[in-house]
Structure 1
Amino acid sequence: MSGLDGPGDRYVVGVDYGTLSGRALVVRVGDGAELGTAVHEYRHAVIESALPDGGVPLAPDWALQDPDDYRDVLRHAVPAAVAAAGVDPARVIGIATDFTACTVLPTLADGTPLCEVAELRGRPHAWVKLWKHHAAQSHADRINALAHERGEPWIGRYGGKISAEWQFAKGLQLLEEDPEIYRRADRFVEAADWIVWQLCGVETRNICTAGYKGIRQDGRYPSREYLAALDPNFADFVAKLDGPLLPMGARAGALTAPAAAWTGLPEGIAVAVGNVDAHVTAASAQALVPGHLVAIMGTSTCHVVNGSELVEVPGMCGVVDGGLSPSAWGYEAGQSGVGDIFGWFVEHAAPAGASHERLSELAAAQPVGAHGLIALDWWNGNRSLLVNHDLSGLIVGLTLATRPPDVYRALLESTAYGTRMIIEAFVEAGVPIRELVVAGGLTSNRLLMQIYADVTNRPLSIIGSAQGPALGSAIHAAVAAGAYPDVYAAAAAMGRVDRDVYRPDADRARAYDALYAEYRSLHDHFGRGGDEVMSRLRAIRNAAVDGAAEHGTATLEVVG
């Protein structure tokens, strides 16, 4: 925290909804000083094995959440952050939120989540599907195949494939696995828009999630004819998505009396349109200038960059007009597992008592390539460039001499190789990358940051805030409240970045070039048709788990 409270100061609140918790941050409008923060953990965390209270078991690759956990962030984290800041709530002029995406839920026409309808609470499809719900891969495959067969013009904007994580794949899964819930769902809404609905009582949609996660391009969604070709009963799906569409930084409405009671903020203050946690961070990192790529590194990594021209980049998550900020083409790519992979190793594969700090210290002492390993960073599937969540992790080169720090370093390196592939795909397609800025909790791992600089052979700038998404939301709140004319001006005044904190070492960069070539060889072999063993193993696993559950013989807890 920094700065002193002045008698004429005004404040905004940014609320960042992550995978396991929500964070509120109180920020001074004049200079972006962060004055108070608080975190509230979701009571139900991620629902992966069974619905709450001993409910229905879930199949592999499911990931659900309880929407009331999101309201609890407003009830607990926002008042606590304001108290920690020591500011008068009456001087707060706006609030904005950001969310993981695609995190989506079915609701009634008034926004009531279907999982809060008593008779539907035991139906898994009535709940929020978290971004990492990957059980709709087969539906995404059909969507992609039909789009290419019909020559749909929008498919190229998404690198040739839409993801199993996105609205249409999850919606098609909903229709075909629980038609009654699909029929009862008047609206199918991103959590980023739903929480804004809760705050201001008005349904809105933001162009960011509509474009990147909802296949909305050139002012329209996929045609009714295309959707009917997927499934005749899917023809009406767009009607569940369509709503007032607003640009980034716009005012969605005013804080309602109930929401004011939850948050302790003044009724009537500005509520900004919803946003995505990664995309909103570009503002806080002062990276809205074309060519400044931000890698937001946490449990997963999202890569976003503005471009001045429209091009189609194979394997990207999408390009959206105004998706990051007005008057620019916003590009998105991503890796589905990063911090989650490191966490998995420490929690489940490393010796008891191992820690990230100790493993990083031991791994840092190794010369590049000394462990003799290459890993593929697909523990949670591949988002870019392959867009296939049936893929899985791989480590090549293990011997009886391999030790935990060797594997740990190989896993760190694998995610850096994945980022390098994304950067190279952008550049080869005509999207210049002039600066690489890293944000998120993993910036504190100095070894990891140096590996990224060496693998990409680029200097790394580091965002100047530990709360990049929350600060980005606060910047958008200031724009929605009228304190700045646009996001560019607000980001210049309130954002912060430390330039070229990590610089590549020439010798290490050359050594990584050789290892990266091996990574690319494995990547293409297992990811581009050389061998489908990963998909076959996934199918065998799912069949075994489903069969065990059906016959009541499961002896292991399976997490999706």
Structure 2
Amino acid sequence: MADEYVVGVDFGTLSGRALVVRVRDGAELGTAVCEYRHAVIEHELPATRAPLPPDWALQDPEDYLDVLRVAVPAAVRAAGIDPGEIIGIATDFTACTVLPSTADGTPLCRVPEFAGRPHAYPKLWKHHAAQPQADRITALAHERGEAWIGRYGGRISSEWEFAKGLQMLEEDPEIYTAAARFIEAADWIVWQLCGRETRNVCTAGYKGQHQDGAWPGTAYLTALNPGFADFTGKLAHPLSPLGGRAGDLTEQAARWTGLRPGIAVAVGNVDAHVTAPAAQAVGDGQLLAVMGTSTCHVMNAGRLAEVPGMCGVVDGGIISGSWGYEAGQSAVGDIFAWFVDNAVPAGYRDRAAARNLDPHEYLSELAGRQRVGEHGLVALDWLGGNRSVLVDHDLSGVLIGLTLATRPEDIYRALLEATAFGTRTIIESFNHAGVSVRELIVAGGLVRNSVLMQIYADVTGLPLSVLASQQGPALGSAIHAAVAAGAYPDVRAASAAMGRIDRAAYLPDPDRVAAYSALYAEYRALHDHFGRGGTEALHRLRRIRNTARKEVATT
């Protein structure tokens, strides 16, 4: 029997990647990347050059279609196979990345009269300008005793569907009214591939507050804002299980991708959650941290528990038959990139270049030579706000312990450690709620930094396993494509055959574990002081900044 192949497409923050995978063993045969022409729209709207307010993050959906037109055919060519041997395609997306559209799926930003309206565009996951709406959503849920709020750790994020939708209503009601659909990009791209609208259980559960077969009720929505009573009508659609077949590849999508029309198109999924089968992290207690610009933590468990500060727990949210838990950190790789882009002296860059190293590699090498605590610093990893466990995107970063002897590598290591401390905080929250974490598995671009990986093992005290692929989400999508095409009975079986993992690649060192426990105590003291009401300084500074920037934008 001839080999069969599938394509996984991973839509990230700045680019999309396609991967061709052999069905029988998960061998990766060809890959290609398409950079988004518009990247992240953060400062001004391209259509008008009008400045955007603080904390906005938009995208252009045409960039998503470019990935299908460019990356998929290129990956197939790189694989050197006959496109006729490909039996399925699956996609994953950042989340919550959500867009308003007409009833036929046309994004409102493509409607000529709305091209200059920011709320007509997809709001990227890191759009944090809806924090006031998120705070009201949370407060009202507690006031009314809404049962679903406990499934989200007691707080709703500004990153999610309801906060972004409420912001759209209150700031541009005409766009809100014109939006027949408010749809996750994960589902919108599947609609473009198969011509059939679907909604996946993952984004609906984690980002849309869909629990126990229902959305938040009309009375609750009306209490938020009378005009918001119809919001779930823009979301409502029968939900499809992960690994299911959404439909068949249309003739138009076949022309875009170079694939055969009629092959299986899998139900949409989220980049972090789809990575779990790629890393064979489908058992209870295996916490997968997908580390890139941000980090998403996902884990399966056989029991339902309400874990304070988590992003959500959803039945079948990662894999059918298990409760899927999600947590996260809003900025990780973004923090390291910020430091390198803004605070590394020219001399360091020159020394790195002389050794053919990029600044991250050079700083990591210098930081890796230090003993734990040698730099005398502690940082809070909130440069992009806090997703878990405080769920507050108006928080900001903190660095203490600076002296005139502090060097760039000291700060860089402190920032690496801060993200590890944030992950430890999440792990402890799971453990305290009775959802035990027994293994930490890491995927994503940051696994290549061995200094960072060892820090995570030492800070958490857990053996750290690593996904043995640089294409975790795309491989995970390919696994789901194989299931949707009928090559495997379920995702667990496909994961066992196609997933790839390097078990216990980094082991905690007992001496460093003990030293980090002392530093972690200082981190937690700062965490609780700045994040749990010891001071409102960070919130006050954010308000001062936003007021000043709005005044600049209007002059």
TM-score normalised according to structure 2 size:
0.98
1:464 aligns with 2:472: no
Q: Which residue of 2 aligns with 1:350?
A: 344
Could you tell me how far 1:55 is from its partner in structure 2? 2.6
Q: State the alpha-carbon separation in 2 of the partners of residues 280 and 346 from structure 1.
A: 30
Whichever residue aligns with residue 521 of structure 2, its letter is A
The alignment status of 1:121 with 2:115, answered yes or no, reads: yes
Q: 1:519 aligns to what?
A: 523
Equivalent residue of 1:128, what SS?
A: coil
1:422 is paired with a residue whose SS is helix
Residue 244 of structure 1 and its aligned partner are, at CA, apart by 2.4
- Cα deviation digits, residues 488-508 of structure 1 (max 9, x gap): 000000001010000011111
Choose the corresponding residue for 1:19, options 13, 23, 35: 13
What residue is the counterpart of 1:477 in the other structure? 481
Offset of 1:350 from its aligned partner?
1.3
SS at match of 2:99: strand
CA contact (8 A) 1:55 1:122 kept: no
Query: Among 148, 152, 157, which residue is 2:151 paired with?
Result: 157
Answer whether contact 1:300 1:339 (CA < 8 A) is retained: yes
Contact 1:56 1:124 in 2 (8 A): no
Partner AA of 2:377 in structure 1: L
Who is 1:104 aligned against?
98
C-alpha distance in 2 between matches for 1:548 and 1:127: 23
Cα distance in 2 between the residues matched to 1:493 and 1:394: 44
CA contact (8 A) 1:206 1:275 kept: yes
Distance in 2, Cα, partners of 1:350 & 1:535:
28
Where 1:64 maps in the other structure, the secondary structure is coil
In structure 1, C-alpha distance between the alignment counterparts of 2:279 and 2:553, rounded to whole Å: 47
- 1:235, CA displacement in angstroms? 0.3
Distance in 2, Cα, partners of 1:538 & 1:384: 19
1:229-273 C-alpha deviation (Å, 9 max, x unpaired): 000000000000011210000000000000000000000000000
**Is 1:177 matched up with 2:171?**
yes
In the aligned structure 1, how far is the partner of 2:271 from the partner of 2:31?
17
Find the counterpart in structure 1 of residue 221 from structure 2: 227
Q: CA deviation at 1:53?
A: 4.4
Query: In angstroms, what is the RMSD of aligned CA positions?
Result: 0.7
How many residues are matched?
A: 545
CA distance in 2, matches of 1:501, 1:143: 42
Paired with 2:345 and 2:295, the residues of 1 have a C-alpha distance of 27
Given the alignment of the two structures, is residue 496 of structure 1 paired with residue 490 of structure 2, yes or no? Answer: no
Cα distance in 2 between the residues matched to 1:138 and 1:190:
21
Judged with a 3 Å threshold, the aligned counterparts in structure 2 of structure 1 residues 180 and 53 are, in CA distance, closer, same or farther, namely: closer
Q: 1:52-90 CA distances to partner (integer Å, 9 max, x unpaired)?
A: 144321000000000000000000000000000000000
Q: Which residue of 2 aligns with 1:284?
A: 278
CA contact (8 A) 1:21 1:41 kept: yes
Alpha-carbon contact 1:164-1:170 (below 8 Å) kept = yes
- Which 4+ stretches in 1 moved above 4 angstroms? none
Deviations 1:427-484 (A, max 9, x none): 1101111211100000000100000000001110001111000000000000000000
SS at match of 1:437: strand
- 1:190 and 2:180 matched: no
Residues 264-413 of structure 1 mapped to structure 2, 5 A cutoff = 264-352=258-346, 353=349, 355-413=359-417
In structure 2, how many angstroms separate the alpha carbons of the residues matched to 1:452 and 1:500?
Answer: 12
Q: Which residue number corresponds to residue 558 of structure 1? A: none
Cα-to-partner distance string for 1:403-431 (whole Å, 9 max, x where unaligned): 00000000000000000000010011011
Aligned to 1:510: 514
CA distance in structure 2 between the partners assigned to 1:457 and 1:304 by the alignment: 19
SS at match of 1:443: helix
User: Is the counterpart of residue 68 in structure 1 residue 62 in structure 2?
Assistant: yes
Identity %: 73
> Does the 8 A contact of 1:96 with 1:476 survive in 2?
yes
- Aligned position for 2:355: none
The 5 Å alignment of 1:23-34 reads 23-34=17-28
8 Å CA contact 2:100–2:120 kept in 1: the answer is: yes
